[in-house]
Amino acid sequence: MCGIAGFLTPPRERSAEYLTDIVGEMAERQKHRGPDDQGTWCDPVSGIALGHRRLAILDLSEQGHQPMLSSCGGYVLVYNGEIYNFQELRRELEQAGKRFRGHSDTEVLCEAISHWGLSQTLPRLRGMFAFAVWNRHEKTLSLVRDRLGIKPMYYGCFGSTFLFGSELKSLRVHPDFAAEIDPQAVALQLRHNYIPAPYSIYRNVYKLPAGTLLELHQTAGDAPRDWTGAQLQPAPWWSLAKVIERGRSNPFTGNYEAAVERLEELLREAVSLRMLADVPVGAFLSGGIDSSLITAFMQQQSSRSIKTFTIGFTEYEYDEAPFARRISEHLGTDHTELCVMPSEAQSVIPHLANMFDEPFSDMSQIPTFLVCKLARRDVTVSLSGDGGDELFGGYQRYHRLARIWHQLESIPGRRTIARALDWYIQNSPLEWKKPGLKQYAQLLNISSAAMLYAQLHRHWDPADILEREVWDPSESLGFGQSLAGLERAPFNWMALDTLTYLPEDILTKLDRTSMAVSLEARVPLLDHHVCEFAWSLPDSFHCEQGQGKKLLRSVLARHIPPSLFDRPKVGFGIPIGEWLRGTLFEWAEELLSVSALESHGLFQSRLIRERWEAHLSGKTNWQYPLWDVLMFQAWMAKQAQESSKVSPV
């Protein structure tokens, strides 16, 4: 895995030395993503500079060095990811007359773009990737992100300078970068615990959405182009909505047993492709369905015991280590288990702001980092089971919300009742009744299953705690819409999660925590062939009697006795709520003091303090919304320590 960075600036305005120094420093800030090699390339005549940090996985020699020029000299590539079918593509290219210097997938990608063109290459790729390619003839810079958003790509526009990189910290290096907080992004983080694409915490900086391509054409002449004012619209090269539409119009026609057989074939192949590496490979094993499936297929296809890793906690209700141990014993893996003490988990917290670069408050970020750190002692690549919940209906919230939605639909005249409640709330002197009545009125007024999801799974209503009114862009991002006609629950929510929660929470968490320790994490369940198959299945193949992952369970039962995995989903959690009342109290109290909350002019402190005090009393567990605020406050404190100024505008 790697870190990439670069920028486009007015032609001939800067020297080669200047371009090289700046882009080299941008790449250096991502050394953790690629500790094995660094490279830069620039062209002052065109105003382009590219930088790269390499974590060598395939072809460890100099032949895999980046930035990489195509053999024809027309393209320059910086690339983060893995193309799992690169050997197949290489054979096609060799038959067409291409000759290769080395054995890396980077060279195959570069030559494929040179031979087929970018638009014809992208559908052929099977993997995870984010890359930038400069077309030297057409003076065009293209940024690409993989289908499901496994690998990150940020870009920013600052006058005549266009920046991009794998992480925000690389963009901040450039002297033209302006660190101005976007209040809409703050609203999104408080509502969802992450900032969905295309937003980032900064104005004029964006995440490239999953499955999209952004092209910039450098103009010749003396007048520099203002990228800030340009209409830079990423174009989809792969669409989940179209996948769903195709799956519904051309569904899988076999019976249930045929679907089990087909899914097993797809998963076995997906795992096999992701075991290819010139460095040691292992797997995360929690003992749940997804990680157990990946581990079973890995062990089945390995001539030796594969290495598996899990962490446990002293708190019994959060400890999945015994389940993972039993799976490991059954499959015969070389298992490493670490019991994490509270002090060790809490020691990660001061590093989170730097690790994630923007406020991010999925508290499972802590155990995910710890298991990545554990795995990195023995392997450079680890396979993960992420994606099974979104593609195969695994979250219990889907089924709980389905019941609520059906109940709401059965209430006659609910919109009229909602209007009456709104009138009462506005005119009643009984202030203590208003919060509960307001929430009930909002529920009655909901018009779609997706809006119900957004309403019940928000952590804060930003209007309640932000100092000024800020438009919350959630609905424009799809949170208030139905997708591809999926009005019925829970499939609307599965699609919504695959578009938003999966890439911007789950996969962001996996990428940043694994890259922080220079570990490559691969996700076989998110092979796009598996995704497309999942969306072609009948509803009944996903869920049965309120239980999801029906098909995954059936595949796993072929390899592991159900008694070892058939239990309620636990999740990757930690007792943050208890820690905030105990050993983390002083840290949290400082960040949640009235002076700290109001210091940047973004928050109203009253409601936050009320929830903090209620949490401390033990009457209510407000750990999730409080963690959102704490992660924002910790991030702001980190920015204050850095030399560049951050303007909360």
Which residues have a catalytic role annotated?
Answer: 2
Please list the residues that pair with 522 across neighbouring strands. Answer: 383
Q: How far is it, in rounded angstroms, from Cα 28 to Cα 34? A: 9
Q: Are strands 68-69 and 205-207 parallel, antiparallel or unpaired?
A: unpaired
Q: Exposed/middle/buried for 74, CB within 10 Å: 0-12, 13-18, 19+?
A: middle
From residue 169, alpha-carbon distances to 173, 179, 515, 524 in Å are: 7, 11, 14, 29
* Positions of E strands within 390-496: none
Token digits for 184?
């809409």
Question: In angstroms, how far is CA 135 from the centroid of its own chain?
Answer: 29
Q: Are strands 334-340 and 307-313 parallel, antiparallel or unpaired?
A: parallel
Count other Cβ atoms within 10 Å, centred on residue 67. Answer: 25
Please report where in the chains the tokens 């090269």 appear, as a residue.
237
Q: Where are the alpha helices (DSSP H) in 489-642?
A: 491-499, 501, 507-516, 528-534, 550-557, 576-581, 585-591, 594-598, 605-617, 623-641
Cβ density class 357-368: b for 16+ within 10 Å, e for less: bbbbbbbbbbbb
What sign does the dihedral 591-592-596-597 (CA atoms) show? positive
Cβ density class 502-524: b for 16+ within 10 Å, e for less: bbbbbbbbbbbbbbbebbbbbbb
Instruction: State which amino acid sits at residue 181.
Output: I
Token digits for 363?
């508290």
Residues shown for the chain:
649
Q: How far is it, in rounded angstroms, from Cα 405 to Cα 448? A: 9
Q: How far is it, in rounded angstroms, from Cα 65 to Cα 107? A: 9
Q: How far is it, in rounded angstroms, from Cα 438 to Cα 444? A: 10
**Which helix (DSSP H) or strand (DSSP E) does residue 283 occupy?**
strand 281-284
